[in-house]
Structure 1
Amino acid sequence: MTWKVDAADRLLDSLLGGLPQTAVIAVATADEDGPKVLRSKNGPTEGRFEIGSITKTMTGAVLASLVDDGIVALDDEIGRWLDAGPNADITLRQLATHTAGLPRLSPSHVLGATDPYLFLTPHVAEEELRRCPVRPRGVESDYSNFGFQLLGLVLERADGTSFPKLLQQRLFDPLGMTSSGVPKDGEPVTIAGHINGVPTAPWSRHLYGAGGVLVSGDDLARYLNACLNPPDSAAGWAIRQAQQPDFQIDPLRSAGLGWPQGPPGYLGHDGGTAGFRSGLGIKTTTRRAAAIVVNDKSAHGLMRAIRYALDAE
């Protein structure tokens, strides 16, 4: 228990000096013995944080779950479900490992826009996909937010279930994550996002495969623990499969289904939204894990702080 407590305190301390006093932070730690340890500052643990691209690890688990049920196969081509034009031969595996040759953002994405994903409805996403130039598949892992937005859309069409509901049914409910999900229209914000202490409005989203999930501090700890110690269940199996190396990037790094891996012994993901930063890391050799969420986009160095905590004696 000592490492988990010390690491949680160390992670909180590493962030406090560079953030406004009003910042809300939640930190979770876990090891192979469980139970998880949660530390929080300035906010109730039931308040919900945006986790940004950590959502991609969840999308990878949903994909693995649908593969296990025979609903999709990793090498299925997206043209079965999307009007993809010349990019119809991209596979689900390639989307999930960032090897589809797609750009980081959709072609019409405007950097710095106040609400950059508002325009990207499913119909528009298919139009944007058809505009993307055809590039080599399966030869290079090049991070694509757009690819995961499309992956979530494919999975909901393949199963006939909305992607938010897929997350709920196949991950959140089985893991006991009772305060997690995507925001509903008109739902009050329990923890507001900020930039350098100034409140900022959340981004609008129509596609949730790449980001958009909200979690409470308690649910963050539950998810962290499940990622380190997958339960003996269908959800645990899906998490374990998503974490397996699927594409070798270079001698030190590989890609799972939504999970960046490397250097050897480490895997994890970070995230950023209009007003939040997040990070989750696992050290497989020592069976340790840590995660941070903070409601201020100006927070930096989260993954570096997590790595230091995981390496601490």
Structure 2
Amino acid sequence: MKKIFIVPLLLMLLSACNKKEVAELNFSVRTEKTSYKVGDTVKFILSGNPEQLIFYSGLEGSKYAYKDRTNAESENITLEFATNRRYGSDAQQPQSLKVFASQKFNGQYTEANINESADWVDITSAFTLSGLQTGDATYVSSGVVNLLTLSSLGFTIDKTKPVYFAFKYNAITGFTQPRWWVNKFDIKMTTTDGQLLTVADIGTAGWTSVKFGTSPVAWVFGSDKILKYAGGGTTVLSNQVWAVSNALNLTKVKPDVGTALKNMSSRLDSYTFIYKQAGTYKVTFVGSNVNIYGESKVVKELELTINP
């Protein structure tokens, strides 16, 4: 009979212990004052020693309110790229580089699936391309163009669908074929609440080279993050080659992230940070004690004014 009562008693004791496994968190944070100057060291004084602590500075990309945001609304989605052209001449190789956009491309990176007339819109005229340069280091900005204003060119964006972009190279044999380099390709949005966010850059856009016919030269994107087309001498065969981006969602953004300051094996009584731009910042600290039985979390917010 004793054994019958021992088992329930043990279960009750274990259950009581489990409920106490997560230590209740009593966490607080304060600063010595609420306003500082640009370049000052802001000291955050911490108490409660949470096992985990994350800091959101309030700067762009580190705002607690946007930690779960993956899409944003905007009426100002811009593209800016930069090009460097060397060798060849416009008279012999006219319009050797063009820029296209598409929301009809099927994502199959082959010659047979790139239908220029049916699926792609030539948006070159909205941008500035490099003239002939004497060195590799001179890049010409395309200008910052709002992609939502290209309807006059026949390209009206549906923001619910992905967009593809492409650089089309075209040159004929018998004359020096120009060399084109692209070292910048930035798509940015200004959100309805005034944030400037990066949608894609030359690295994240992704580039696939598609040769037409017997074209011998491919677009190359390397570790230097420059999209390159080598061109060639007078004996090189004619080239029509496209560099086509990945499908890009123009309203997709990265969630804001905080900085992990500590884990349960360390103690932190203060933290310092320097703001390099004037403004009003909502600073957030998220402290938590977590284990397999649950979590105790405290979110503390402070508003700081950073003066010039």
TM-score normalised to structure 1 length: 0.24
Larger Rg: 2
TM-score normalised to structure 2 length: 0.24
Write 1 or 2 for the structure with the bigger share of helix: 1
Write 1 or 2 for the structure with the bigger share of strand: 2
